[in-house]
Structure 1
Amino acid sequence: MPVYKNKNAKNNKWYYSFSYKESNKYKKKLKRGFKTKKEAENAMIEAMDSINKGTYIEPSKTLYRDFMDSWLKDKKINVKKSTYSNYQYLVENFILVSLGDIELQKINPREIQTLYNDLKENNRLSSENIRKIHTIINDALNKAFKWGMINRNPATLVDAPKVVKKEVEVWNQDEINIFLNVAKDSRYYHAFLLALTTGMRQGEILGLRWKDIDIENETISVVQTLSHKGQELSAGAKTDSGNRRISIDSNTLSQVLKHRTLQKEEMMVNSPLYNSHNDLVVRTSTGLPLSPRNLLRSFYSIIDKSGIKKIRFHDLRHTHASLLLKQGVNPKIVSERLGHANVRITLDTYSHLLPNLQKETVNNFSKMFYQN
């Protein structure tokens, strides 16, 4: 492999060098500054691949917006559509507005930091999305560095924006009972019930099929989701750990199965217009996927009628988790029900809702310590 160690330089770092043919002319590609041989080899392979694919652009001719256009195209084939749409939205509406017309080689840390400051000071985006913008900029410029288009990645010199955690809002048992009592006549009662008793996400509930419910073993398999816009059903959950099997109590299962009877009646009334191919548990009167917007409209309408604290639909998931933890359920089990990647996420998210856990722990320790 044409990878070398610069023994004459003080930093003793690695570099790569290779020749390639372009327009019947041979050109030399050289990139310095790699800490390890492996890092230099990986960067060289990426650079060669980009040249072979025809996606490599000479640094001197590249504006940041042109490079980001190619970066987005590369991402499109490697991430889910919903993730790509989010990347595209943040790039086109926020990143390129500030950095798009700057030459790739001339972008500096000050310009990146100014973008973050502007977004935060003007409340244009949540702290989570500002952090996502940093991740995008850093990832893109890191690729430009590996490809030899810039001498260093300026984003590595900028502190990642701090994410301010929003306080999790949940209902207590009385509020749950009031809501469900008002919602019992709603067409989407079973959707609300599933959120409260299983902790499933909105997209997971709207993507749930009857064949995903194991009636005999009283379990639900989360293997499909509906997009935020309600236009696409996708295999798999939000994350790999989100693909899971959840136990469901018999009372909830009974309520959900009642809705299947209603759907069979609608299928007969609305035939042949009825679309039964999706097999969805939550669907419109003609069998189509239910728009998340319509579900939320019904949800907030019921909250207004109930006169209880207004929370988001996603907070039903938080409510489920907090109730389980307050009952003393092992956090590992709660984490598995929610589809978290690890139990630490669960504890970080909900620990502040459980002020009595430490007290209970201390009391139990005291009984053991002073038992003699």
Structure 2
Amino acid sequence: MAGRTVKKDDKTNTWYYLFTHGINDNGKPKQYKKRGFKTKQAAQKAMNELDHSLTTGTYVKPNKILYREYMIEQWLEDKLTRVKRQTLETYTWLVKTHILPVLGGTEINNLTAMQIQGLYNKLTKEKKLSDENIQKVHTLINDSLKKAERWGLIQKNPASLVDRPKMIRKEVMVWSMDEVKHFLKHTDNESRYYIAFELALASGMRQGEILGLRWQDVDFENNCVRITQTLSSDGKEIQPYTKTRAGTRNIDLPAETMNQLKKHKNRLEKEMGEAEPVDYTDMDLVVCSKNGTPTNKSNLRRAFDKSIQKAGLKKMKFHCMRHTHATLLLLQGVNPKVVSERLGHSSVKITLDVYSHLLPSMQKETAEQLGRALYED
């Protein structure tokens, strides 16, 4: 037994449908009714979709759960055991500050692709978030609704119908080889932070990886370091890399950098020997405070800024030394796959995307080298 009715509600100037399908437990026809459609066609389409879902067994009974309730009480709660603390804090900030104020008051099964797209448009116009974070907002919404679909809370994930927001990559700031040499020459190599600068430029390690590097992961015999852990971005904890994470890797280093590491190690051993045992915490860190504890990132940043000013170079962030390392290798013709492995990127595509601005000049040099090989005696 089935009945289909689409009518206009003159009081609200909207359309509604009344659909009869199946029998209730009491033997009476089971009816489904929904109001609030702006057009007759919209009501008809919604009724057809309901008919299809009931016929195919994919129907999801409407619920009154607000998206806010679902995100906080279920989705974020589920993430608590699946991601690291720092990552969870970022998710929570994006959800509570930028997602829920716009979408939180809507019942989860009433969310639409247009609402989600509207949020992305709003965030883009306000420019309060970076393109990267707006993409993260999309990732979180899409993941949450995909899970809601699997859990039977919604019939279809509306975020799957919305395009991922575009991200315009800013050209990275780097030093030339001459500027790198000038910086190292005019930087106080007696400073406890000098080794951090040397490692950043010679290895391309992330700041957190440098501040989390242990002496047990420095191989003086084979002139390399093994990246196994990182200092969290808030500086509160050392986080180990898992075996499957792209960050875990070996990086070969120049002999000169290894010599600087030996010199730095001697300095730290002397400091530890002179310190009172009660005042020193030996965490085996290569870059550490005078008490052996992790280095404060603000102190490192101030030391870096001071060294740049002393060298008379253009100011840039500590992370740009990682970009400088990669750029210099690519300009010297090092295979992008090798560069990607040194940086700990999960794929060479990421490396090529970030440093694509170098490709035109690299291709020109390659063509010239090929020409000389083919046509010169």
**Which TM-score band (shorter chain)?**
0.7 to 0.9
Query: Which residue is equivalent to 1:105?
Result: 109
Aligned to 2:180: 176
Partner of 2:328: 323
Question: Are 1:118 and 2:122 an aligned pair?
Answer: yes
Q: Match for 2:63: what amino acid? A: S
TM-score (norm 2): 0.80
Report the alpha carbon displacement of residue 274 of structure 1 after superposing the two structures with TM: 3.5
- Quote the residue 1:232 is aligned against: 237
Amino acid at match of 1:74: D
Matched, 1:334 2:334: no
Residues in 1 aligned to 2:371 and 2:192: alpha-carbon distance in whole angstroms: 51
Partners of 1:240 and 1:275 lie apart in 2 by 32
2:64 to 61, 74, 77: 61
Looking at structure 2, the residues matched to 201 and 270 of structure 1 have their Cα atoms a distance apart, in angstroms, of 30
Distance across 2 between alignment mates of 1:93 and 1:238: 34
Alpha-carbon distance change, 199 to 136 in structure 1, aligned in 2, over 3 angstroms: same
Alignment pair present for 1:209 and 2:252: no
Choose from 58, 61, 77 the match for 1:73. Answer: 77
Instruction: Give the corresponding residue for 2:153.
Output: 149
Shift of 1:370: 5.2
Q: Distance in 2 between matches of 1:259 and 1:315?
A: 23
Aligned Cα root-mean-square deviation (Å)? 2.7
Sequence identity of aligned pairs in percent?
49
Conservation of the 8 A alpha-carbon contact between 2:187 and 2:310: no
1:296 offset after TM fit, Å? 1.4
Q: Is the 8 A contact 1:127 1:164 kept in 2?
A: yes
- 2:352 and 2:134 mapped to 1: Cα distance? 24
String of CA shifts for 1:244-282, please: whole Å, max 9, x gaps: 011111111111221112212221332123434310000
Deviations 1:112-158 (A, max 9, x none): 12211121111110001000000100110111112121122111222
Q: Secondary structure at the match of 2:278?
A: coil
1:187 corresponds in structure 2 to 192
Counterpart for residue 3 of structure 1:
none
1:198-247 Cα shifts (integer Å, max 9, x gaps) = 00000100000000001111110000110011110011179712100111
More deviation, 322-331/125-134 = 322-331
2:35 alignment counterpart: none
User: How far has the Cα of 1:189 moved from its partner?
Assistant: 0.2
Please name the residue that 2:45 is paired with. none
Aligned residue number for residue 266 of structure 2: 261
The separation in 1 between residues aligned to 2:112 and 2:283, in whole angstroms, is 50
- Mark the runs of 5 or more structure 1 residues left unpaired by the alignment: 1-31, 41-46, 48-57
Q: Is the 8 A contact 2:279 2:291 kept in 1?
A: yes
Paired residue for 1:301, among 298, 306, 327? 306
Alignment length (residue pairs):
324
Distance 1:122 1:268 in 2: 55
Aligned match of 1:17: none
Partner of 1:163: 167
